[in-house]
Amino acid sequence: MKAWGGRFREVTHPLVEGFTSSIGFDWILYPYDLEGSRAYAEMLERIGILSREEKETILTGLDEIEREIEEGRFSFSEALEDIHMHIEQRLTEKIGDTAKRLHTGRSRNDQVMTDVKLYLKDALCSIDGRLFGLLRAILRKADEEKATIMPGYTHLQRAQIVTFGHYLLAHYVMLKRDRERLRFVMSHTADTLPLGSSALAGSTIPLDREFLKERLGFSRLSENSIDAVSERDSILDALYETAMIMLHLSRLSQDLILFCTEEFSFVELPDSLCTGSSLMPHKKNPDALELIRGKTSRVIADLFSLFLVMKGLPLAYNRDLQEDKEPLFHAIKTAEESLSVMELCVRDMKVNRRRMEKACYEGCITATEMAEYLVLKGVPFREAHKIVGGIVRSCVEKGKGLLELTLEELKGHSLHFDKDVFDYVDPVRIVHRRKTIGGASVAEVERFIEQEKPYLGL
C-alpha cells in the first residue's frame, strides 16, 4: 500500500524503494506514532469525523499493533518506507476501511515531526536524569576532596595550587550549564506541538489542536503551519546540547586519562571500568574514558551533518529532512551511555591524596603566592614578579624547588623577605588563605557545595 498510489501508473522501482526507506532506524518511533494516532482518533471523534465505535475500533487495533511490535511478531518491510506507513497498513489489515479515516486532515509531514517531538521529550528527560546523577556524583566526590591539595594546570604545566574538590567543581559547573540549557530545550522548542498543521497549510476540517496539545502533553502549539512541518530547530537544539555535554565529558575524560598514568598517579579507576592488553600483562587501560573522548567527535559530526542538510532547503517539507533522525538517535544514545559511564568513573575512582600533595611541594608552583607576599610588603606587583622570576631561574639552575630555599637565599633577591614567607607560601595554607569568591580555597569549595546540595536534593 502506498499513501499516494492514486497518482502513479507505475510501482516504485526496487532500488528507489530501498534508497528511500527509513524503517531501519525510525522504527524506534513506534510508541510515539501509536500515541499520536490514539490522540488523533480521539480528536476526530470530538469533531464528528469518527463515531465512538470507530474510535474504539481504531484504539483497539493500535493497542494490538503495539503488542505485536513489543513481542517481536510485527513484520517490517522496506516497501513500506517508514514506521508510520507500517502502522497505517497493519491497522488497515486489522480493522479494514475504518483505519482509512484516521489520516483525515493529517499529513506524514506533521505526523513525523509530532513523533519526533514526543521522542525528544522522553529522550531529553532521560539525559537530564543521567546528567543529574553525574552532577550528584561529582558534588559528593568534591565534598570528600574539598581540602585535598593538587597542582592546577595551564598549558598542561603546573600553575598554582588548587584543591581536587575545586577542580571537580569546574566540571560540575560546566555540566550544570548543560543541564540548564537542556531543560530550556525541553520546555520550549521540544515542547511545541506541530500536529494539525497537515502537509504545510493546515486543514479545512476543524481540527481541535488545543485538545491534541493537552492530550499529548505539550505546553504550546506551533504558530505557523509551514514552519511547523519544516523546522528542525528542536532537533538541532537537542544535537547542540548533546554535543556540548559530550565535549565536556571529553575534557573530563582527557584529564582523568592523564591523572591515571603512572607519571601523574593522581587517581585510579576500578578494574571493572578498565581493560587489559592481549600482549602486555601489566596494562590497565582507561578504555571507557578514551571511547567517550573518541565518540565525542561523532556526536559533534551529528550536529554539523544536520546543519548542512538544513542550510539550503526551501520551504516547506523536503525529503532531505528524513536525514535528521539517524544523527539524532545516535547522539542521544551516545550521550546517555557516556553520562552513565562517567558517573561510575567519578563515583568509584580512588584519589591518591599523598601523590597530589607531594606534587604541590615540588618545583616552583608557589611562585605566584611568593610574588603576592612581596606585594603585601609594599613591592609593586611588576617588580615583585621580576624578583620572583629571578628566584625561579636560580632554582632551575641549582636544581632546587622554591620551598627548599633558605631565608638567606631569598634575602639575596629582596630584603623584603622575612621568616613569615614560609608560612605564606606553604601549599596547605595557601588554599585556606585565599579570599576570592569562586576561587580555589577550601572555604569557597565548602560554600559552593553547601549552596548546590539543595539543587541536587542532597
Q: Which residues are catalytic?
A: 155, 277
CB atoms within 10 A of CB 155: 6
Cβ atoms of 444 and 450 closer than 8 Å? no
| SS3 assignment, position 350 | strand
| SS3 assignment, position 285 | strand
Cβ atoms of 404 and 414 closer than 8 Å? no
- Cα dihedral sign for 10, 15, 20, 24? positive
Residue 257 Cα distances to 48, 154, 243, 252, 253, angstroms: 63, 17, 20, 9, 6
Helices 164-187 and 108-144, packing angle to 10 deg: 160
Cβ atoms of 235 and 185 closer than 8 Å? no
Distance CA 249, CA 255 (A): 10
Alpha helices in 349-380 (DSSP H): 353-360, 367-376
Cβ atoms of 335 and 245 closer than 8 Å? yes
Alpha helices in 311-363 (DSSP H): 325-348, 353-360
252-257-263-269 Cα dihedral, nearest 10 degrees: 100
Question: What's the chain's length in residues?
Answer: 458
Residue 14 Cα distances to 1, 17, 18, 77, 99, angstroms: 14, 5, 6, 12, 27
Residue with cell 510508541: 31
Q: Which helix (H) or strand (E) holds 449?
A: helix 442-456
Q: Which long-range contacts (CB under 8 A, 24 or more apart) does 184-187 make?
A: 185/124, 185/234, 185/237, 185/238, 185/241, 186/121, 186/124, 186/125, 186/128, 187/219
